[in-house]
Structure formats: structure tokens, C-alpha cells
Amino acid sequence: PLKLAVKILVNSLFGLLLLWGFNFLGALMALAIPINLVTILVAGFLGIPGLILLIILQVLL
């Protein structure tokens, strides 16, 4: 249980860094993804493909 909790925490921090980096660069294109628990977990668990999914959803919706 502790190992799983640590893995979720590390992945969530990675997702937060991905989102922060994208929002920093996306500001040049007027594109931003809101940073909240759901987007952090999607980007954290799925990594780069998750970030791409969030970008596509942001553009389409």
C-alpha cells in the first residue's frame, strides 16, 4: 500500500510538471490547460500521451 501511494504521488508530481511546462510554453500560442486534480492525474498516469490527450480535448472543446 505504501509503495502504491508513493508511486501515485511521484506520477502526480510528474504530471504537474508536464502541465506546468506546457502552460508555460502554451502561453505563446494562447493555449492553456487548467491545472486541477483530474488533469494532474491524467498527465501523471498516462505521461506524454495523457498530455497530448488533454491538449486535443482542450482544442476540440
Task: Quote the pLDDT of residue 55.
Answer: 92
pLDDT in tens, 1-48: 899 989 988 999 999 999 999 999 999 988 999 999 999 889 988 889
Q: What is the mean pLDDT of the chain?
A: 91
What pLDDT band is residue 60 in, cutting at 50, 70 and 90? very high
- Domain extent for 36: 2-60
Write 18-21 long-range contacts (CB < 8 A, 24+): 18/43, 18/44, 18/47, 18/48, 18/51, 19/43, 19/51, 19/54
3-state secondary structure of 45: helix
Domain count, the chain: 1
